[in-house]
């Protein structure tokens, strides 16, 4: 059973390591060995045992009929998309960790795979090593999925955990994440929620069959979160987490990324450090939760190789996704949720403001008061703020 | 696509409800409808819409070639085992929620299924509605499983949660669980760990390919747990949980059920009420965690119907299990783990006992002292107790 690896960076070399480390186990499972016949990379790896498999051109891979599976771990949209398309059209199955390509072109690539009778799998693109996409699609197949919410980015969760535990400022926590290799030199994609947006779009497509565009959903990152917000939320029994959330609203789909206050009663609240945690709410089973390492060389490679084994094991039925049209997007402003508010004012103001937001208890200190509101839309929030007349210092939606 | 339900109690009627409730979704997925052609039960259900499908004899089901899948939800070993065997031999796939049958006869039934080219699936037998068996076997297929630990019984977790939160005695918490319908009139199977033992044996078989006997592993329940133990563990940062645990020790398999102290840093610590939570440690991905409703009509039915859909979707490759031989069982006394100890004595005794157990901090109150030891075997524990000379009031292993 021959495969090709596209990209021999962190994930690609991790996949090679998994195939070597668990060679015997894989042979027992499949009854045959998996051989890495080609590695496509611009670089040479003269000292690697697989160094003699390195090629710099996709052509020999596409034309070799022995290669049944191509594992794309290049990152970035191009040429990863073009190579994936060419491999599928050449009758090869493709597995990938590349959420950028799946989020942008997943509908088209699944369609091409179906036309050529091959597979396109991407378990590694969301939640790293956590089994989530197949459980969501296959194990919960008897359920209508109502919503999916979770911590989808380990870098931001590391930063927020540090801010909560050690009262660190965002900029300092980011620096430490960079020093430890958890954040890149240019951290924008992680910190501003772009990475999480790609992942929630994939989860929405698995759940609802329509592929939204990550650019067309509201995305807010964590650079505006302060240690004070984190501390006040903790006093109320909440952790601040960067949440990707999607839910069905009638025929429309709501999807967004934003910092949320998560109550201690939710398993998401206890996801710390670089881990990911994804909560699924489905109409029969209720709430199930999936947790583990959301990134990193070996966890991601675990999922890539898992997909390779599934294909060799046979029997995969691919989902069909449609590109979402303008009318498929729900209005994010219509979302109803509780919110934590921090308003300027004294205890007296806090007492007076109760009816507008529907709370009983609050914290008052340093000329501001903090409370958890009743569930409300953004419009109801604006009205309540107007009616109570106090200055809004900050607000965070609650993930219930 | 025709199926038969064996048993129309809580789970059986739940499965019928799921098939009705999500009929349209299932039709979209499979391109066809699933019809319940027979319901085997001793009772009649004249007022149920499916009342006219009720039969009291397995024979017409076995001889109807249109019935491709039999869902066994009768509970108990007999005649569930005989009916399952007969259905498989008649060329029908079987899905079940019956952990008793799987734990006792899973190896033989999988073998019979393989010989007849049909499936035998039992996702609902462990963790209720939580996807765990297929993720463990298929999604983590690139990994060697090192250990599986978890809360596998919702009834005992409800009782322990109540004891921790409200300082309730075991007997009172049990009564409330019975009043709420979470515990049966005869609660022995839940409370004494017998139910959890069946489930850990199934998880061990999925992980390691050998079916241990639930009667041959050490099983301890929670009837001996006191509110004082719960409170002292909480002061040290631990929750007391009934844990099913299995791990590979060389070529041998360790499996056991016992109350453990679980540290706050573990996701298992935060599983409350009737939920289940299962932590998998695998050699590539590291630790992943699966959480959700571990029992109940609809969650269990969700998994049963999920298995039915997988079979109609096609492409299942069944595991092969061997019956474990005497040499497959690891010696539980050789297990190395940290432990919480409560010994009789004052602060001075606690200071003196440090070198024997390797701890720095301890709680001392009411003539007893409590601490977390270094990792040790049962023999090392016995030696340390002898050397320090203090009376052991109680001890709990720590789940690390």
* Ordered DSSP codes for A175-186: HHHHHTTSS-SS
CB spacing of B306 vs A26 below 8 angstroms: no
**Contact predicate A109/A88, CB 8 Å:** yes
Helix (H, G, I), strand (E, B) or coil at B102: helix
d(Cα A124, Cα A130) in Å, to the nearest integer? 8
* pLDDT confidence tier of residue A320, bands split at 50, 70 and 90: confident
| Residue B372 Cα distances to A7, B260, B352, B363, B365, angstroms | 47, 12, 15, 10, 16
**pLDDT value at B319 more than 90:** no
Distance set, CA B333 to CA B217, B254, B379, B380, B400 (Å)? 12, 10, 7, 10, 17
- In this predicted structure, the answer to whether residue A389 has a pLDDT above a threshold of 80 is yes
Active site residue B199: yes
Query: Quick check: A94 and A120 in contact, CB under 8 A?
Result: yes
Under 8 Å CB-to-CB from A191, ≥6 apart: which residues?
A155, A156, A159, A174, A183, A221, A222, A223
Strand blocks (E) in chain A: 2-6, 35-40, 54-55, 67-72, 93-96, 120-121, 145-151, 210-211, 238-249, 252-263, 275-282, 286-293, 322-323, 339-344, 363-365, 368-372, 392-397
Q: Determine the pLDDT at residue A96.
A: 98
Which residue from A244, A241, A238, A237 is spatially nearest to A225, judged by alpha carbons?
A241
Catalytic residue among B92, B99, B199, B390: B199
Average pLDDT, chain B: 96
Q: Say yes or no to pLDDT of B317 above 90.
A: no
Sign of CA dihedral B201, B202, B204, B210: positive
CB-CB: which of A286, A298, A306 is closest to B129?
Answer: A286
CA distance A159 to A142: 37
The residues with which A259 forms a beta bridge, in sequence order, are A242
Q: Assess contact for B6 and B72: CB atoms under 8 A.
A: yes
In whole angstroms, what is the distance from residue A233 CA to residue B306 CA? 39
The strands making up B93-96's β-sheet, listed across from edge to edge, are B54-55, B35-40, B2-6, B67-72, B93-96, B120-121
Beta carbons of B298 and A309 less than 8 Å apart: no
Which one of A19, A139, A209, A251 makes the best mutation probe of the B interface by having the most chain B beta carbons within 10 Å?
A139
Alpha-carbon gap, residue A351 to A256, rounded angstroms = 33
Helix (H) or strand (E) holding B39: strand B35-40
Locate the DSSP E strands across B250-391. Answer: 252-263, 275-282, 286-293, 322-323, 339-344, 363-365, 368-372
Identity of the residue in B25, B129, B287 whose CB atom sits nearest the CB atom of A288: B129
Q: Which of A216, A195, A220 is nearest to A100 (CA)?
A: A195
**C-alpha dihedral, A92 to A98 to A101 to A103, nearest 10°:** 120
Residues of A in contact with B287 (CB under 8 A): 292-293
Q: Encode pLDDT of B238-250 as tens digits.
A: 999 999 999 999 9
Whether A291 sits inside 8 A of B267 (CB atoms) is yes
B186-203: average pLDDT: 97
Give the whole-angstrom CA distance, residue B205 versus residue B145. 11
pLDDT digits (tens, 9 = 90+) for B64-111: 999 999 999 999 999 999 999 999 999 999 999 999 999 999 999 999
Residue A317 has pLDDT above 90, yes or no: no
- Tell me how far CA of residue A69 lies from CA of A307, B71, B390, in angstroms: 10, 36, 64
Regarding an ipTM greater than 0.90, the answer is yes
**Mean pLDDT of all residues in B383-392:** 96
pLDDT of residue B100: 97
Fill in the DSSP letter of residue A269.
G
Report how far residue A114's alpha carbon sits from residue B57's, in angstroms, rounded to the nearest whole number.
Answer: 44
Segment (H or E) for B395: strand B392-397
pLDDT at position A314 over 90: no
Measured between beta carbons, the chain A residues lying within 8 angstroms of B286 are 129, 292-293, 298-299
The yes-or-no verdict on residue A305 having pLDDT over 80 is: yes
Counting Cβ atoms within 10 Å, is residue B289 exposed (0-12), middle (13-18) or buried (19+)?
A: buried
Strands A286-293, A275-282: pairing kind: antiparallel
Is the predicted pLDDT of residue B316 greater than 80, yes or no?
no
Q: How confident is the model at residue B318 (pLDDT cuts 50, 70, 90)?
A: confident
- Using the predicted structure, report yes or no on whether residue B32 has a pLDDT greater than 70: yes
Instruction: Give percent of chain A with pLDDT exceeding 70.
Output: 100
- Interatomic CA distance for residues B276 and B256, integer angstroms: 17
Is the CB of A135 less than 8 angstroms away from the CB of B140? no
- Helix (H) / strand (E) element for A316: namely none
Find, in chain A, the residue whose alpha carbon is nearest to that of B26.
Answer: A142
Q: Shortest CA distance to A11 belongs to which of B284, B281, B279, B287?
A: B284
Task: Write out the H or E segment, with its range, that includes residue B145.
Answer: strand B145-151
Q: Is A239:A164 a contact under the CB 8 Å cutoff?
A: yes
Share of chain B above pLDDT 70, in %: 100
C-alpha distances out from residue A262 to A191, A278, A363, Å: 19, 13, 18
Q: Nearest CB to B285: which of A129, A284, A308?
A: A129
pLDDT > 90? residue B266: yes
- Please, is B327 exposed, middle or buried when counting C-beta atoms within 10 Å of its C-beta (0-12, 13-18, 19+)? exposed
Say which DSSP state A130 is in: S
Hey, of B137, B142, B265, which one would you mutate to test binding to chain A, going by the most A CBs within 10 A of its CB?
B142
CA-nearest of B93, B302, B127 to B199 is B127
At A42, is the pLDDT very low, low, confident or very high (cuts 50, 70, 90)? very high
Chain mean position to CA B25: 29
Q: What are phi and psi of A90, to 5 degrees?
A: -85, 5
Partner residue opposite A285 with nearest CB, options B26, B129, B315: B129
d(CA A24, CA B99): 31
**CA-wise closest residue to B258 among B197, B330, B310, B315:** B197
Alpha-carbon distance of A244 to A255, in angstroms, equals: 8
* pLDDT tens-digit readout, A143-173: 999 999 999 999 999 999 999 999 999 999 9
Which pair of structure tokens corresponds to residue B323? 């019956």
Q: Say yes or no to pLDDT of A396 above 80.
A: yes
Distance separating alpha carbons of residues B368 and B345, to the nearest angstrom = 5
Distance from C-alpha of B172 to C-alpha of A124, rounded to nearest angstrom: 47
Tens-place pLDDT, residues B100-139: 999 999 999 999 999 999 999 999 999 999 999 999 999 9
Residues of chain A contacting residue B306, judged by C-beta atoms under 8 Å apart: 138-143
Neighbour order of strands in the sheet with A368-372: A363-365, A368-372, A339-344, A392-397
Residues 6+ apart with CB under 8 A from A59: none
Q: Which tokens belong to A230? A: 């984190």
Q: What is the CA radius of gyration of chain A?
A: 23
The reported pLDDT for the residue numbered B315 is 67
Q: How confident is the model at residue A329 (pLDDT cuts 50, 70, 90)?
A: very high
Distance from CA of A291 to the nearest CA of B (A): 5
CB distance A283–B21 less than 8 Å?
yes
In the set A199, A241, A368, A390, the catalytic residue is A199
Alpha-carbon gap, residue B195 to B280, rounded angstroms: 20
Decide: A301 and A15 in contact? Cβ < 8 Å.
yes
**Tokens 């027979």 sit at which residue?**
B38
A377 φ, ψ (degrees, to nearest 5): -85, 175
Structure tokens at A218: 């509201």
Q: What is the pLDDT of residue A315?
A: 67
Q: If DSSP codes are grouped into helix, strand and coil, which group holds residue A322? A: strand
Number of CB atoms found within 10 A of residue B369's CB:
24
Rounded to two decimals, the pTM is 0.94
Quick: pLDDT tens for A125-145.
999 999 999 999 999 999 999
């Amino acid at each position: 059973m021959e495969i090709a690896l596209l990209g021999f960076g962190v994930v690609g070399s991790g996949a090679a390591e998994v195939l070597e480390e668990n060679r015997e186990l894989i042979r027992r499972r499949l009854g045959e060995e998996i051989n890495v016949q080609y590695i496509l990379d611009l670089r040479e790896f003269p000292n690697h045992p697989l160094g003699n498999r390195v090629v710099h051109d996709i052509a020999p891979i596409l034309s070799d009929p022995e290669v049944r599976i191509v594992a794309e771990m290049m990152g970035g949209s191009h040429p990863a998309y073009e190579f994936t398309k060419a491999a599928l059209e050449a009758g090869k199955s493709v597995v990938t960790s590349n959420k950028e390509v799946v989020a942008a072109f997943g509908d088209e690539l699944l369609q091409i795979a179906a036309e050529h009778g091959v597979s396109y799998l991407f378990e590694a693109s969301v939640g790293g090593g956590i089994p989530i996409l197949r459980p969501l699609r296959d194990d919960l197949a008897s359920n209508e999925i109502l919503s999916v919410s979770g911590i989808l980015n380990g870098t931001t969760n590391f930063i927020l955990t540090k801010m909560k535990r050690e009262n660190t400022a965002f900029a300092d926590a980011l620096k430490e994440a960079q020093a430890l290799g958890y954040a890149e030199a240019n951290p924008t994609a992680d910190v501003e929620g772009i990475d999480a947006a790609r992942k929630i779009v994939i989860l929405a497509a698995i759940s609802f069959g329509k592929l939204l565009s990550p650019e067309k959903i509201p995305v807010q990152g964590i650079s505006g979160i302060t240690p004070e917000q984190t501390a006040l939320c903790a006093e109320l029994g909440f952790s601040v987490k960067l949440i990707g959330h999607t839910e069905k609203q009638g025929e429309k789909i709501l999807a967004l990324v934003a910092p949320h206050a998560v109550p201690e009663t939710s398993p998401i609240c206890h996801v710390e450090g670089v881990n990911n945690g994804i909560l699924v709410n489905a109409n029969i089973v209720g709430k199930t939760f999936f947790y583990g390492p959301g990134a990193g060389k070996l966890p991601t490679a675990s999922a890539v190789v898992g997909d390779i084994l599934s294909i060799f094991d046979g029997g995969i039925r691919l989902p069909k996704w449609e590109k979402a049209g303008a009318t498929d997007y729900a209005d994010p402003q219509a979302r109803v949720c509780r919110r934590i508010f921090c308003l300027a004012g004294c205890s007296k103001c806090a007492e007076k403001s109760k009816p507008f937001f529907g709370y009983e208890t609050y914290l008052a200190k340093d000329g501001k008061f903090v409370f958890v509101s009743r569930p409300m839309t953004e419009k109801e929030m604006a009205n309540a703020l107007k009616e109570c007349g106090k200055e809004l210092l900050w607000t965070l939606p609650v993930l219930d």
